[in-house]
Amino acid sequence: MSAPSRNLVLAVDGGQTSSRAIVATTDGDILGWGDGPACDHLHGPNGVERNRQAIQVSARAALADAGLGADRIFAVGLGLTSAPRESSLLHHVTGIVQEVCDPDTIWIDSDCVSNLAGASGNRGGVVVIAGGGSIAYGVDAEGREAIAGGLGYLMGDEGSAWYIGLRAIQAAAKAHDRRGAPTALLPKVLERYGLGSIREVSHILYATDFKRDRVSAFAPEVVRLAREGDATAAAIVNDAGRMLGKTALGVLRQLFQEAEFVAIYPTGGVFRAGDLILDPFRSAIGAARPAAQITMPRFSPVVGAFLKSLERAGIPATGETLARLDAGLAMRAGRQ
């Protein structure tokens, strides 16, 4: 029996909330999907092992879903929140991949690159990612790149789920001791974290085993209260949208002329808040760059990683390739 043909691509999107992988043919037929745990910074506590789990669990799940062996994979693409280009630990990621398969080519880059590739169909523009963290990344017609934000929660992550959750906890504390206005956030924070008093929140935030997603996961509740009319929650969400707009403007100012048309793609879980986030986001951008256009993403970040892996392998993604991806994604959506 002849050996199976090595003609498949494995792509992984590793984010701060979860990871996703696909196995696809080079012409865009998606054969398998897999999910895994979150990635995190390689330099963080157990960073390499956390990335190993995220990449390998999602990759093996996608291969199992496709019913195919890893020996069919010839190219791998990984867009990872944990993969800044300046990291000295990226060689670990190559090793993690090679524990699963032995591809001819591996593309590894920050998830902001795969987010833009997916959102734009591997064209230029600006992507703003607002999930557990926040960052904006852009590419112009000449291939020049620029980044704004993305320096982590200690340096900002403005507009992210972390930012929204932390601002909400701070507002609850201020409401409790009369430094701020009364808000429904106070009882919700107490309930969420099982606190008898808001002053006990320090036991959670400063615990040695604290994980940032304990704060980020509170963001949807803040959005819900904003929709229900809580003025403090609404102000927090509105401010998050404005801050994300300012992050986009940072990239626009680095790469594009003021009157130049630019597509801006909002991606990440925070934008699921809809117009509560998008309206102030649009306003912040439109006031300074009216020629910029907010455009909904065409593909997800994991498809962006697939497109970048094709590019690395020297295989052009044709219009037919993109159409096949569209069809496969529509079919999957219909099954869910």
Query: Hey, which bits of the chain come out as E strands?
Result: 8-14, 19-25, 30-36, 73-80, 105-110, 125-130, 134-139, 145-149, 262-267, 292-294
Q: Is the pLDDT of residue 12 over 70?
A: yes
Question: What digits encode the pLDDT tens for the residues 125-148?
Answer: 999 999 888 999 999 999 999 999
Question: What digits encode the pLDDT tens for the residues 51-95?
Answer: 899 999 999 999 999 999 999 999 999 999 877 666 666 788 889
Summary mean pLDDT of the chain: 92
Alpha carbon distance 164, 160 (integer Å):
6
Question: Average pLDDT in the 255-264 region?
Answer: 95
User: In 191-204, which positions are buried (b, 16+ CB within 10 angstroms) versus exposed (e)?
Assistant: ebbeeeebeebeee
Looking at residue 256, its pLDDT comes to: 96
Alpha carbon distance 290, 25 (integer Å):
40
Q: Is the pLDDT of residue 47 over 80?
A: no
CATH of domain 8-121+298-335: 3.30.420.40
Alpha carbon distance 220, 264 (integer Å):
24
Question: Average pLDDT in the 193-201 region?
Answer: 96
Q: Are residues 281 and 166 in contact, defined by beta-carbon separation less than 8 angstroms?
A: no
Three-point CA angle 266, 269, 273, nearest 5°: 80
Q: What is the 3-state secondary structure (H, E, C) of 198-232?
A: HHHHHHHHCCCCCCCHHHHCCHHHHHHHHHCCCHH
User: In 119-130, which positions are buried (b, 16+ CB within 10 angstroms) versus exposed (e)?
Assistant: bbbbebbbbbbb
Q: Sorting pLDDT into bands at 50, 70 and 90, what band is 250?
A: very high
Q: Is the pLDDT of residue 153 over 60?
A: yes
Ramachandran quadrant class, 138 (left: phi over 0; alpha: psi -120 to 50; beta: rest): beta
Alpha carbon distance 72, 13 (integer Å):
20
Question: Average pLDDT in the 162-188 region?
Answer: 97
Q: Is the pLDDT of residue 2 over 50?
A: no
Choose the CATH number for 147-294 among 3.30.365.10, 3.40.630.30, 3.50.50.60, 3.30.420.40.
3.30.420.40
- 3-state SS assignment for residue 27: coil
Q: Is 318 exposed, middle or buried (0-12, 13-18, 19+ CB in 10 A)?
A: exposed
Ramachandran quadrant class, 183 (left: phi over 0; alpha: psi -120 to 50; beta: rest): beta
Q: What percent of the chain has pLDDT over 90?
A: 78
Question: Average pLDDT in the 305-333 region?
Answer: 91
Q: Is the pLDDT of residue 221 over 90?
A: yes
Alpha carbon distance 68, 23 (integer Å):
9
Dihedral sign (CA 282, 284, 287, 291): negative
Q: What percent of the chain has pLDDT over 70?
A: 94
Question: What digits encode the pLDDT tens for the residues 95-108?
Answer: 999 999 999 999 99
Q: Are residues 128 and 248 in contact, defined by beta-carbon separation less than 8 angstroms?
A: yes
Question: Average pLDDT in the 268-275 region?
Answer: 95
Looking at residue 40, its pLDDT comes to: 72
Question: What digits encode the pLDDT tens for the residues 322-332?
Answer: 999 998 888 77
Distances (CA, A) of 274 to 223, 257, 323: 10, 28, 27
Question: Average pLDDT in the 254-260 region?
Answer: 95
Q: Nearest Cα to 100, choosing from 70, 131, 69, 74?
A: 70
Looking at residue 81, its pLDDT comes to: 81
Residues spanned by CATH 3.30.420.40 within the chain? 8-121+298-335, 147-294
Q: Nearest Cα to 294, choosing from 123, 126, 118?
A: 126
Q: Is the pLDDT of residue 1 over 50?
A: no
Q: Do the bridges between strand 145-149 and strand 125-130 make them parallel or antiparallel, or are there none, so unpaired? A: unpaired
Q: Which of 1-5, 58-62, 271-275 has the lowest mean pLDDT?
A: 1-5
Looking at residue 279, its pLDDT comes to: 98
Q: Is the pLDDT of residue 43 over 90?
A: no
